[in-house]
């Protein structure tokens, strides 16, 4: 079963299957396509071979080849001392990772989903994030916590929460969330090389998606800076900020809006903490309208922080109230139609953009 899965994954990249979106976005037929899964796997592989202090730990990362096959092949290559299958003890093994990081090793701790990180959140916040401060710089914690975050498909309330805003509110942590393969490779490499604790929020539904990457991205020294957002699409009428999977939705929404003459600027946040307020504010000063998009719960979310930042720094430039699009304020339901209603969809982003541009009458109680 594992063998056929690997053939399928390899088959995809060799046959250059291109999803509809990327046809528009590929600039030359020579551009290589890799899935986010391959991007993460290659980033881990390269960082582990470059630095023997990097090691992986988590449930099923070794013999099972990774619960989502992100760590495929790494056990065979690096051995069981560097790819550790742990027992089901999030608090315990996260603490062990932090202790190892105190002493100069560079653990990459995988949570099967970030929902399970709640069992270890004491160590992420209290032992990792705060230690450099409490020890006045004596002890730095070069650890990476990674895993899928946010909603998947039909997995229910306890497996679907987005943790971006929880972790991003804590000083001492860096929180990253990639969208495409380039982001995945660049940000994971930057995270592993970073001397501070990094929470790396992936998305399960993006693992299988292919994106074109340039040769520069495939180079083993490729790294993206932490704290800089990327303007995925330039525009002049409205700014849409998003991270992770919803960047894809925002881009599709931007195409739909273009037909109506609204040119949206889409910002891929990449880094939730530190938030690139400078890029966001510069964009809002250009377009004068802002929509924040996220999958998590609305109260105290990432969008709330972006809205506050824009109101503080660019209030005079706003021509319309900031629109926040977030997941519904309910635990994630199981039924497929209800789940669809509980997460933002492309139509919600389009509607919000039109509201911000005063092109439609706002409806009550919509996202």
Partner 1 sequence: MATAFSAPKFAAQPFTTISPTSQHKPLKIPTAASPFLGSTRKLLRLSSSSQLNLRRRSSGSVFAVSDVVKEKKPTPIPSLLITKEEGLELYEDMVLGRSFEDMCAQMYYRGKMFGFVHLYNGQEAVSTGFIKLLKQQDSVVSTYRDHVHALSKGVPARAVMSELFGKTTGCCRGQGGSMHMFSSEHNLIGGFAFIGEGIPVATGAAFTSKYKREVLKEADCDHVTLAFFGDGTCNNGQFFECLNMAALWKLPIVFVVENNLWAIGMSHLRATSDPQIYKKGPAFGMPGVHVDGMDVLKVREVAKEAIARARRGEGPTLVECETYRFRGHSLADPDELRDPTEKAHYAARDPITALKKYLIENNLSGEAELKAIDKKIDELLEDAVEFADESPLPPRSQLLENVFADPKGFGIGPDGRYRCEDPKFTQGTAHV
Q: Where do contacts with partner 1 occur on this chain (CB under 8 A)?
A: 52-53, 55, 81-82, 86-87, 89, 91-105, 122-123, 126-127, 131-142, 171-172, 174, 194-196, 225-228, 271, 273-279, 281, 313
Residue 12 tokens, joined? 């995809």
The reply to whether 90 belongs to the active site is: yes
CB 305 to partner 1: min, Å? 12
Closest CA to 224 of 184, 197, 282, 168: 184
Q: Is 71 or 86 the residue whose CB approaches partner 1 more closely? A: 86
Question: 94: buried, middle or exposed (CB in 10 Å: 19+, 13-18, 0-12)?
Answer: buried
C-alpha to C-alpha distance for 276 and 197, rounded to whole angstroms: 18
C-alpha to C-alpha distance for 162 and 183, rounded to whole angstroms: 19
Q: Is 49 or 89 the residue whose CB approaches partner 1 more closely? A: 89
CB 346 to partner 1: min, Å? 30
Is residue 15 within 8 A of residue 8, CB to CB? The reply is: no
CB 176 to partner 1: min, Å? 11
Q: Is 129 or 246 the residue whose CB approaches partner 1 more closely? A: 129
The reply to whether 123 belongs to the active site is: no
Q: Is 135 or 360 the residue whose CB approaches partner 1 more closely? A: 135
Residue 285 tokens, joined? 């000063």
C-alpha to C-alpha distance for 243 and 272, rounded to whole angstroms: 8
Angle formed at CA 167 by CA 124 and CA 65, multiple of 5 degrees: 65
Instruction: Point out the catalytic residue in the list 159, 182, 265, 305.
Output: 159
Dmax over Cα atoms in the chain, in whole Å? 61
CB 98 to partner 1: min, Å? 6
Is residue 211 within 8 A of residue 185, CB to CB? The reply is: no
CB 281 to partner 1: min, Å? 7
Instruction: Point out the catalytic residue in the list 90, 182, 209, 265.
Output: 90
CB 232 to partner 1: min, Å? 18
Helix (H) or strand (E) holding 239: strand 238-242
Q: Which residues contact 171 (CB under 8 A, 6 or more apart)?
A: 129, 133
Residue 81 tokens, joined? 């001392």
DSSP state of 219: S
Q: Is 181 or 279 the residue whose CB approaches partner 1 more closely? A: 279
Alpha helices in 85-200 (DSSP H): 90-102, 121-122, 131-134, 164-168, 181-193
Q: Is 277 or 354 the residue whose CB approaches partner 1 more closely? A: 277
Is residue 102 within 8 A of residue 141, CB to CB? The reply is: yes
Chain-centroid distance of CA 9 in Å reads: 21
Q: Which residues contact 43 (CB under 8 A, 6 or more apart)?
A: 184, 185, 188, 189, 192
CB 107 to partner 1: min, Å? 8
Q: Is 103 or 315 the residue whose CB approaches partner 1 more closely? A: 103
Active site residues: 90, 159
């Amino acid at each position: 079963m594992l063998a056929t899965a690997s053939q399928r994954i390899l088959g995809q990249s060799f046959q250059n299957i291109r999803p509809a979106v990327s046809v528009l976005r590929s600039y030359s037929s020579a551009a290589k396509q890799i899935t986010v899964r391959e991007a993460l796997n290659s980033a881990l592989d390269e960082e582990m071979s470059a630095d023997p202090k990097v090691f992986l730990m988590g449930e099923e990362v070794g013999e099972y080849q990774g619960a989502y096959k992100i760590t495929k092949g790494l056990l065979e290559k690096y051995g069981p001392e560097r790819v550790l299958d742990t027992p089901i003890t999030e608090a315990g093994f996260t603490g062990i990772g932090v202790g190892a990081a105190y002493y100069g090793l560079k653990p990459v701790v995988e949570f099967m989903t970030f929902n399970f990180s709640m069992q270890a959140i004491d160590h992420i916040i209290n032992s990792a994030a705060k230690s450099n401060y409490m020890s006045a710089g004596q002890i730095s914690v070069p650890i990476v916590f990674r895993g899928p975050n946010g909603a998947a498909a039909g997995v229910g309330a306890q497996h679907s929460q987005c943790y971006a805003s929880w972790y991003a509110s804590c000083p001492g942590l860096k929180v990253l969330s990639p969208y495409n393969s380039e982001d995945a490779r660049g940000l994971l490499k930057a995270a592993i090389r970073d001397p501070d604790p990094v929470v790396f929020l992936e998305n399960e539904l993006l693992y299988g998606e292919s994106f074109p990457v340039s040769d520069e991205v495939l180079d083993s020294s490729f790294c993206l800076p932490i704290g800089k957002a990327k303007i995925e699409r330039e525009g002049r009428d409205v700014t849409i900020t998003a991270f992770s999977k919803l960047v894809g939705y925002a881009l599709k929404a931007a195409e739909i809006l273009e037909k109506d003459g609204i040119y949206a600027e889409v910002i891929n946040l990449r880094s939730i903490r530190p938030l690139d307020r400078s890029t966001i504010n510069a964009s809002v000063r250009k377009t004068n309208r802002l929509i924040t998009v996220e999958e998590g719960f609305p109260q105290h979310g990432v969008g709330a922080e972006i809205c506050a930042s824009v109101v503080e720094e660019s209030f005079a430039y706003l021509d319309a109230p900031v629109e926040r699009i977030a997941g519904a304020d309910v635990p994630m339901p199981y039924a497929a139609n209800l789940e669809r209603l509980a997460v933002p969809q492309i139509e919600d982003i389009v509607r919000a953009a039109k509201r911000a541009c005063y092109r439609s009458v706002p409806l009550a109680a919509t996202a």
